[in-house]
Amino acid sequence: MEKPSVRLCQGVNGLEKFVLREIRGSSAEVYLYGGQVTSWKNDLGEELLFLSNKATFSPPKAVRGGISVCFPQVGTHGALEQHGFARNRMWSIDPAPPPFPPNSTNRTYVDLILNLSEEDPKIWPHSCECRLRVTLGPGGDLLLTSRIRNTNADGKTFSFTLAYHTYFRVTDISEVRVEGLETLDYTDNLLEKERFTEQGDAITFESEVDRVYLGTPTKIAIIDHERKRTFVLRKDGLPDAVVWNPWDKKAKAMADFGDDEYKHMLCVEAAAVEKQITLKAGEEWKGRLELSAVPSSYCSGQLDPQRIFEG
C-alpha cells in the first residue's frame, strides 16, 4: 500500500507537473501548462488516457492527448482560436480555492487557477477566475471540477462554452462502443454542423467522426471490447458530449499525431457547447466530470446495466 501523495516535479521539457498517487497504486499527472491532465493510471499501473507519441510539450502548442480544458470556446463555436486559450496558457497553484463539501476520503487533489496573459483582454475583453480541481479518488477514479467566476469590474456579462477534451486510450477503435448517446440529436462538424438524430443502438466506429451530441444523459459508457474495460463518464453542468476520432486521413495531416494512433484513441468530451453559459458580473458556474474505468461486464452485445448505470 502506498501513501496518498501529491508531488510537484519537472516533466517533459522542464515543464512542471503534479503527480498524484493513491493508496492502491493508481496515479494521475497534471501539467501547469494548460492545466492539462496527461496521465491517469489504474491500480495495476495501466495507462487509461491516450497521449500521442508525437505530443510536443512546446508552448504555445497544446499538448496532444490527456485531458485539456477547452475554454472560453469549444471548437470553432466563436471568434477565438480553436478550443479557446485555456489549454495553452500557464496555470498556477490556486492560492485561495473555494471550499468544497468536506469529504474525508478524498485528499489527493490539486487546485489550479488559469493565468490570463496581458494580451488576453485584447481577444477576450473580460476578467474571470477559471479554476480547476483534479482529484484522484482512493479507488482510482478521476474527478475534474471547474469553477468559472465573472470578475468583470465594469459589471459586464460574459458567455462561454467549455469542454473537457478527453482522449481515452482504447485497444482497437473498431472494437469500441459508446453507450448512452443512442437516439439523441447531434450536430455533425464534418457536415457544417448540420443536425441529425442518432439512429443506431450504440455508437461504433469505422470512419472519421466529429459530432456534438446534445443534451446527453449524465452517464456515458465507452466499452473497450478487446481490453474488456469500460470507461464510465459522469458529468454535471455539461449537457453535451463531443465524440471525435480523426481516422487515417486526418491523422496523417496532424504533425503531433502518429499515422496509426487513431486506432488507439477516442475522444468523448463532456461539454457545454450548444447553449453558451452566461455569467453576470460576480456570478460563478460550476461543472464536473468523474471518470472511472471498470472491467467490462459486456457480453453478447449487452451492457450489464447494474454495473454500469447504477451506483
Ligand X SMILES: O=P(O)(O)OC[C@H]1O[C@H](O)[C@H](O)[C@@H](O)[C@@H]1O
Nearer to ligand X, 8 or 253 (CB): 253
For the chain, the residue count is 311
75-83, 193-201, 229-237, 288-296 -> range binding ligand X (CB under 6 A) = 75-83
186-225 binders of ligand X (CB under 6 A): 189, 210
Query: Taking CB under 6 A as the rule, does residue 58 contact ligand X?
Result: no
Nearer to ligand X, 72 or 75 (CB): 75
**Is 82 a known ligand-binding residue?**
yes
Is residue 74 within 8 Å of 162, Cβ to Cβ?
yes
Query: Taking CB under 6 A as the rule, does residue 267 contact ligand X?
Result: yes
- The interface mask with ligand X, positions 134-173, x = CB under 6 A, is ----------------------------------------
Nearer to ligand X, 247 or 285 (CB): 247
Query: Taking CB under 6 A as the rule, does residue 242 contact ligand X?
Result: yes
81-120 binders of ligand X (CB under 6 A): 82-83
**Site size for ligand X (CB under 6 A):** 9
Q: Which of 276, 284, 51 is nearest to 145 (CA)?
A: 284
Nearer to ligand X, 213 or 298 (CB): 213
Query: Taking CB under 6 A as the rule, does residue 62 contact ligand X?
Result: yes
Residues in contact with ligand X by CB under 6 A are 62, 75, 82-83, 189, 210, 242, 244, 267
Residue numbers in the known binding site for substrate are 64, 82, 87
Residue numbers in the known binding site are 64, 82, 87
